[in-house]
Chain A
């Protein structure tokens, strides 16, 4: 990957690369922040992707198929305190098959700017499908555990839509959404273009056609970083479920204040500790078949997560303490540093070998100002063992959360 290839053009970043076989367009718009629109935003994503600006979803689907399975999606997410509507189009590069660029751009324009919200039957159906999807995901113990942990961390309850695990409540909120709600969110977002990224095997002519047909300009680039909120992790909570034997436990730590560079380095150090964690949890203590680390960037927290037999909770906590103590000691520093360096080096290579990783990396670089991997690699070479220990010693144990399956107890 060559960062010099990345060009900024009035709010749109262009990365031309002929080693791709596809072209991806990611366009970000700022949507209304009001929480009352949360359910509407969830449905808007699906509605837009289903009709694509057409009267009939079948006509939209047929046209996409005709144009070499052109794919469109929308997602609404929070980026640094802003609600962002991202419209994505993913196409086979025009030069790979035949030049269908003009037809594609017409379709893309329709998708972005000509959406209508008049189909009540479709909305009813989408509501039903959305609830079914959420219901299905909450069958999974890990998803349920993660949802509940999020709830407790943020001081919320099942009555808060964004954090709820109560499927009946979610269904009620979803059923209140009207076509007018969708229209309002959409109209406001579309008039608020923020930035875009075009990446892949695109020629100058094809790009110029895109810029001419889409009047999208912006002075903004990155979303401004907000102050990190404090998670309330000072709790030890357990939720029991006698219908399952699966248990998921989070052992939570707070990370101290540090620079962005230090944080990114700590991220790699802690990720690299997964190998050590596995050795201790599995081989020494004979626990778990599944364990990983989980970061929350916005709230400066780190968790050791494991799927275990509920009877082994105390042993798991003992093992987790041992993992952290080892990371914080000098014994493993050099090993962790080497792991981190190799992980970064591998990610650099992966940028050339896996285009989806390249797209995500560029997105993060543009959106959050993530450090370039080559820069990070150079910085690691200047880091000492003491620097690492200073970083790892900022980890403070906060509490645990366990979703406890008691079926076999």
Chain B
């Protein structure tokens, strides 16, 4: 995304502002670097240790938006004819709306909801039922379970997901969540150094910043002290894991964990890995064709990558008839890194075209324009691609080691 200006508001909240006169709608989002990842299940807040249940970030997402000081925030957005939603990811939670009019009013509602929680026992219990239903459905979503299993096994030092392999626990854990623990998580993680806003539209920078600062000065500040235990991110849970579920076909998985050297930024790794992945599993890959011809890879499930602490992780679920053989070949191919300069030019071209295409639909879903702040503050991937040289690309991929991996399968249990 181009032309976002980074502004720090008076209370320390980071704002990314994009003034775009061509837009008739305004897009507003609020993100917090806190999600369903298990590394936040244990923490110390103001001298007290907490060991919380899974699903806290998701529960907070519901509570803060639906039981705010101005009522149900989403209903308010809807009444102002704005569309809105929220989602809890692995390591961030995001709330957003977009609309034509009454943007300031909704932005105020959003900030008040995020910065001034009012939920009590009654509200927590009123919300519990819907969340129980959602958690219950997650337990039977086997393709997602298969993907979560891979990432769960990549980390032996903490539970990335709960034992049910869902991101939000299950019915039993949801029923045990308390108001006290919810406030503890809020106080620990909804802090200035974790939060950010993104606004994109035909807005006046000075007026918007003044408006936001005026809203913020009336809101409470979060001065709690939190410490997180140091976790072992390096160890692997199990190298090879099998679980049985009533699926039609086995869902295989493979995941990698690569240490990112201090000399590299996240955008270096992200883009270089994308090019490498395209080389290995792109449509013109001989490796892919051989795997498909032999039935080792019939179709993909989920493919995901991201960063945790100093590590870059990548996971893939797929359907195929011989996971051991596919794993062996895939690992070899990924670590081969024998890419010619001619191949690199084609990969760059492909990547560039993807970025150019993205310009035609940058507002099609809000996830396209909201920035995941922990990841990168590079505003233009296009410039990065254009300036990336072959030597630099080889240097980056050679510093990533993809020999630390796990294999999994969600095995067909006969119905």
B299 touches A342 (CB 8 A): no
Question: For B100, B134, B346, B357, which residue has the most chain A Cβ atoms within 10 angstroms?
Answer: B357
Cross-chain contact of A289 among B79, B134, B140, B356 (Cβ < 8 A): B134
A405 touches B361 (CB 8 A): no
* Interface-located stretch among B178-186, B253-261, B278-286, B306-314: B278-286
Cβ–Cβ < 8 Å partners of A282 in chain B? 130
A58 touches B134 (CB 8 A): no
* Interface-located stretch among B17-25, B29-37, B399-407: B17-25
Cβ–Cβ < 8 Å partners of B350 in chain A? 65, 68-69
Complex CA gap A135/B319 in Å reads 10
Cβ–Cβ < 8 Å partners of B356 in chain A? 21-22, 92-93, 96-97
- CB nearest neighbor in A for B321: A128
Count residues of A near B (Cβ-Cβ below 8 Å).
65
Cross-chain contact of B299 among A66, A136, A343 (Cβ < 8 A): A136
Cβ–Cβ < 8 Å partners of A357 in chain B? 364
| Contact string against A for B residues 139-174, beta-carbon threshold 8 Å, 1 for contact and 0 otherwise | 111110000000000000000000000000001000
Complex CA gap A82/B319 in Å reads 34
The A-contacting residues of B in range 343-384, CB under 8 angstroms, are: 346, 349-350, 352-354, 356-357, 359-364
| Contact string against B for A residues 284-306, beta-carbon threshold 8 Å, 1 for contact and 0 otherwise | 00111110000000000000000
A65 touches B284 (CB 8 A): yes
A125 touches B293 (CB 8 A): yes
* Interface-located stretch among A7-15, A154-162, A227-235, A345-353: A345-353
B143 touches A279 (CB 8 A): no
Complex CA gap A19/B22 in Å reads 10
A246 within 8 A of B: yes
A69 touches B349 (CB 8 A): yes
A129 touches B363 (CB 8 A): no
The A-contacting residues of B in range 181-210, CB under 8 angstroms, are: none
Contact count band on B: 35 or more
Complex CA gap A17/B99 in Å reads 25
Complex CA gap A19/B301 in Å reads 35
The B-contacting residues of A in range 262-294, CB under 8 angstroms, are: 275, 278-279, 282-283, 286-290
Complex CA gap A121/B293 in Å reads 8
| Least distance between A172 CB and chain B CB atoms (Å) | 15
A246 touches B24 (CB 8 A): no
| Least distance between B97 CB and chain A CB atoms (Å) | 12
A338 touches B81 (CB 8 A): yes
B100 touches A136 (CB 8 A): no
B139 touches A57 (CB 8 A): no
- CB nearest neighbor in A for B101: A342
Complex CA gap A249/B100 in Å reads 34
A243 touches B282 (CB 8 A): no
B133 touches A308 (CB 8 A): yes
Cβ–Cβ < 8 Å partners of A93 in chain B? 356
* Interface-located stretch among B4-12, B243-251, B327-335: B243-251
| Least distance between A171 CB and chain B CB atoms (Å) | 11
Cβ–Cβ < 8 Å partners of B79 in chain A? 275
A125 touches B292 (CB 8 A): yes
B131 within 8 A of A: yes
B137 within 8 A of A: yes
The B-contacting residues of A in range 15-32, CB under 8 angstroms, are: 19-22
- Listed in ascending order, the chain B residues whose CB lies under 8 Å from chain A are 22-25, 66, 72, 74-75, 78-79, 81, 83, 99-100, 126, 129-134, 136-137, 139-143, 171, 246-249, 282-286, 289, 292-293, 295, 298-299, 301, 319, 346, 349-350, 352-354, 356-357, 359-364, 415
What are the 9 closest A-B residue pairs judged by CB atoms, nearest first?
A: A342-B81, A61-B284, A61-B283, A355-B360, A69-B353, A289-B134, A243-B246, A275-B78, A132-B298
Given contacts A246-B136, A275-B78, 10 further A-B contacts (CB under 8 A): A22-B357, A58-B286, A65-B350, A128-B298, A136-B301, A140-B141, A286-B129, A308-B133, A356-B364, A357-B364
User: Can you spell out 25 A-B residue pairs with CB atoms less than 8 angstroms apart?
Assistant: A21-B360, A61-B283, A66-B346, A92-B353, A93-B356, A97-B356, A132-B298, A135-B249, A141-B140, A245-B137, A246-B136, A246-B141, A275-B75, A279-B72, A287-B130, A289-B137, A309-B132, A339-B78, A346-B100, A349-B24, A349-B100, A352-B22, A353-B22, A354-B360, A354-B361
